[in-house]
Structure 1
Amino acid sequence: MMQLLLYIIVAVVIGLIMAAIFGFKIAGGWPGAIIAGLLGAWIGDVLIRELGPTIGGEHILPAVIGSFVVILIIGLLGRRANIRT
């Protein structure tokens, strides 16, 4: 249970940092960034698995890469669709 909570915290923080770095207006604002971070962290964990440093048994690099890709895709699709938040 503690590992799941830590995974969620890491994914949320990464999602918010990535959204702030790119400055994309993600649909849903901060909650959208959190969901994108969780989705990206999960995808990165499934595809890459064990890579990079760990925090509490969770690998950070796959979560960062996954969140980066998901937020990038959402940001680009949002700009293309001309969505304003």
Structure 2
Amino acid sequence: MTVAGIISAILVGLIIGALGRLVVPGRQNIPIWLTIVVGIVAAFIGTAIARGAGVADTNGFDWIEFFIQVGLAALGVLAVTRLGGGHRRLGHR
């Protein structure tokens, strides 16, 4: 993977992770780097699912692939939040 590929993966992960975080209701107390990692993983898995379903390459913007990626990012953010990936302050829930 080239430097440009790594930078683009980080940017896509940031966008997908942020959108996934917006989809999940409530406050998610997880660091931005973890949101980016969740977004990158969701983008790769979402692309694989879309390719497997035959909906990854369409004319124009690939909306189905995009929604799969955002949905996976939302599930990832929710899982990380529920599993204690967020920082909790003492005495607060």
Normalized against structure 2, the TM-score is what?
0.58
Cα deviation, residue 46, structure 1: 1.4
> Partners of 1:73 and 1:31 in 2: how far apart?
15
What SS does the aligned partner of 2:84 have?
Answer: helix
Cα deviation, residue 35, structure 1: 0.6
> Partners of 1:16 and 1:76 in 2: how far apart?
17
Normalized against structure 1, the TM-score is what?
0.62
Counterpart AA for 2:50 = I
Cα deviation, residue 38, structure 1: 0.6
Counterpart AA for 1:41 = A
Aligned to 2:61: 54
> Partners of 1:30 and 1:83 in 2: how far apart?
12
| Structure 2 counterparts to residues 21-40 of structure 1, below 5 A | 21-22=23-24, 23-26=27-30, 29-40=31-42
- Identify the structure with the greater strand proportion: 1
> Partners of 1:62 and 1:8 in 2: how far apart?
18
Q: Identity of counterpart residues, as a percentage?
A: 21
Aligned to 1:64: 70
**Deviates further, 43-52 or 67-76:** 43-52
Counterpart AA for 1:33 = T
The runs of 5 or more residues in structure 2 that have no matched partner are none
- Identify the structure with the greater helix proportion: 1
Contact 1:11 1:63 in 2 (8 A): no
Deviant stretches of 4+, over 6 Å: none
Cα deviation, residue 21, structure 1: 4.6
Matched, 1:84 2:84: no
